[in-house]
């Protein structure tokens, strides 16, 4: 009987871990994804119930209350959040997970302190846990604040930011060594936890809005590693394994996002992209003599309605304007007229990986109509009209043609190859990176000014009258 309960708990953890793996595997295919997510949720429930059997866990009223409170908040949040706000939501949840992991690491460290004996291993892993968890927590909240528009999406940094960061990190290392020598220095532990929070802050503040897909993926990875680190502190395998799994998936997405922008992770994190480069870009000065062509709803509707094939290229502007439903209506009208409609999705369109796909799914666009960059680029030559809605840098031909452009080398959707291109945009102002877009001045390009939602709605009503 002595070993029965502990073994039951550990075997349940093993089963839960297996469910996490199967669940994530199934999340990799659209047909099985929903089932996969549910399996992972069952795994989590199993792990929680098993933990209640732990003989150390006896404070049922308080623990039950905490779980109930968290569940209510989670349910309300998940039901209320708009699909356009998914990047913020994931950012916020990352932050909460990171905070929880850091708290577990810190609490276990204090528990050992109260017992008067902190082993070297526990100190080491608690330091790591509070570092990774702290960075995840504060970094995610800055990312959330930027995405939610609470603070500016532009890169922010203090003068001498690099030196400040190096000093902070040096302070962290010194504090850690002191703690490893004598764990009873509790104030030192508080100091390095504070430094961890500051590091997260200064990691994300200098990163611009358009780089958010990379940051969100990286914080996702870190939230997993934070859970793993907490697992090392309390020596619990399920935390270590599940955390490693999340760390791996976040890292894979981070790498995919960096590749889609042709940049390295260090470049994204430490270059304050768009801050320094925008001023030096020569493109801004000679704007005066470049001309562009404009189109109104009626003429735009004619071009679209009488085309044989149309490729829609959505970007963050569509998300901001919540225009996905109007876009779907436009596609419906066009299909009624026998036009073939496809969607071209750039990997970093929007503010998180796959953001556009979710928005279009919400508007009932079947995912078989969505095409990745590699699949659609060869088709633009045969496309009558490419309709760009709120996308900018991901369709900028400078990325292929101008070696001086800050985005040179980034793979783009080659809409400039289409027979005609209509760009829906609020004004001629450049995007977040401050880079001028040569596409707008091309002979085959028509600018259609307006907010994405109203512009598309106007197109729909004009097409109905054709």
Q: How is residue 263 written in tokens?
A: 């940049």
Per CB under 8 A, the list member of 88, 97, 383, 431 interacting with other proteins is 97
Residue numbers 321-350 binding other proteins by CB under 8 A? 345, 347
- C-alpha distances in angstroms, 91 versus 145, 215, 220? 9, 9, 8
- Nearest approach, Cβ of residue 267 and other proteins (Å): 21
Nearer to other proteins, 93 or 191 (CB): 93
- The C-alpha atoms of residue 270 and residue 208 are separated, in whole angstroms, by 11
* Token reading at 258: 């960096």
Size of the site for other proteins (CB under 8 A): 115
Question: Whole-angstrom Cα distance, residue 158 to residue 463?
Answer: 51
Q: Contacts with other proteins in 122-161 (CB under 8 A)? A: 124-125
Cβ proximity to other proteins: between 295 and 359 the closer is 359
Judged by CB under 8 A, the chain residues 27 through 46 that form the site for other proteins are: 27-31, 33-34, 36-38, 40-41, 44
Give CA–CA dist 146/204, Å, rounded: 9
Label residue 213 exposed, middle or buried (CB < 10 Å: 0-12, 13-18, 19+): buried
Which of 126, 207, 215, 253 touches other proteins (CB under 8 A)? Answer: 253
SS3 of 303-350 = HHHCCCEEEEEECHHHHHCCCHHHHHHHHHHHHHCCCEEEEEECCCCC
Site track for other proteins across 264-293, x = CB under 8 A: ------------------------------
Q: Write down the catalytic residue from 393, 398, 402, 458.
A: 393
* One of 357, 396, 421, 445 touching other proteins (CB under 8 A): 357
CA torsion sign, 259 to 262 to 267 to 273? negative
Q: How far apart are CA 207 and CA 218, in angstroms?
A: 12
Decide if 393 is catalytic.
yes
Give min distance, CB of 367 to other proteins, in A. 5
Selected from 231, 281, 390, 406, the binder of other proteins by CB under 8 A is 231
- Reported as type and span, the H/E element at residue 423 is strand 420-425
Binding mask 359-378 for other proteins (x = CB under 8 A): --xx-x-xxx-x-x------
**CB–CB of 450/458 below 8 Å?**
yes
The answer to whether 243 contacts other proteins (rule: CB under 8 A) is yes
Residues 107/133, Cβ–Cβ less than 8 Å: no
Give the one residue of 132, 156, 207, 246 binding other proteins; rule: CB under 8 A: 246
- Per rule CB under 8 A, is residue 233 in the interface with other proteins? yes
Binding-site string for other proteins from residue 48 to residue 77, where x marks contact by CB under 8 A and - marks none: x--xx-x-xxxx--xx--xx-xxx-xxx-x
Whole-angstrom distance, CA of residue 24 vs CA of residue 220: 15
The set of catalytic residues is 393
């Amino acid at each position: 009987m002595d070993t029965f309960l502990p073994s039951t708990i550990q075997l349940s953890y093993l089963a839960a871990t297996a469910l996490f793996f199967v669940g994530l595997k199934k999340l990799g295919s659209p047909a099985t994804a929903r089932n996969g997510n549910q399996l992972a949720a069952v795994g989590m429930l199993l792990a929680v119930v098993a933990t209640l059997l732990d003989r150390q866990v006896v404070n049922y009223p308080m623990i039950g209350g905490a779980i109930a409170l968290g569940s209510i908040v989670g349910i309300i949040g998940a039901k209320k959040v708009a699909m356009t706000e998914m990047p913020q939501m994931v950012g916020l949840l990352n932050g909460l997970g990171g905070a929880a992991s850091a708290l577990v690491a810190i609490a276990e460290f204090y528990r050992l302190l109260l017992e008067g004996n902190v082993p070297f291993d526990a100190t080491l892993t608690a330091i790591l846990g509070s570092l990774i968890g702290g960075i995840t927590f504060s970094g995610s909240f800055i990312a959330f604040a930027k995405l939610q528009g609470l603070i500016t999406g532009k890169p922010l940094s203090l003068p001498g930011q690099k030196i400040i960061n190096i000093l902070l990190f040096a302070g962290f290392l010194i504090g850690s060594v002191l703690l490893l020598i004598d764990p009873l220095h509790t104030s030192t532990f508080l100091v390095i936890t504070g430094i961890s929070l500051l590091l997260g802050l200064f990691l994300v503040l200098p990163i611009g809005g358009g780089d958010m897909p990379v940051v969100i993926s990286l914080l996702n990875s870190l939230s997993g590693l934070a859970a793993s680190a907490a697992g090392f502190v309390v020596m619990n395998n399920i935390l270590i394994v599940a955390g490693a799994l999340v760390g791996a998936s976040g890292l894979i997405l981070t790498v995919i996002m960096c590749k889609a922008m042709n940049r390295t992770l260090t470049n994204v994190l430490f270059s304050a992209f768009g801050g320094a480069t925008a001023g030096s870009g020569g493109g801004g000065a000679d704007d005066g003599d470049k001309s562009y062509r404009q189109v109104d709803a009626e003429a735009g509707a004619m071009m679209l309605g009488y085309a044989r094939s149309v490729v829609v290229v959505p970007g963050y502007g569509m998300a901001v304007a919540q225009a996905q439903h109007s876009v779907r209506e436009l596609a419906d009208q066009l299909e009624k007229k026998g036009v073939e409609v496809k969607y071209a999705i750039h990997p970093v369109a929007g503010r998180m990986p796959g953001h556009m796909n979710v928005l279009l799914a919400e508007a009932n666009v079947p995912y078989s109509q969505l095409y990745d960059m590699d699949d659609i680029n060869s088709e633009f030559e045969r496309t009558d009209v490419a309709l760009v809605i709120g996308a900018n840098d991901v369709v900028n031909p400078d990325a292929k043609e101008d070696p001086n452009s800050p985005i040179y080398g980034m793979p783009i959707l080659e809409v400039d190859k289409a027979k005609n291109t209509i760009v829906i945009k609020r004004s001629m102002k450049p995007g977040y990176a401050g880079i001028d877009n040569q596409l707008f001045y091309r002979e085959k390009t028509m600018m259609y000014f307006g907010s994405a939602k109203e512009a598309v709605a106007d197109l729909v009503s004009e097409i109905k009258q054709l």
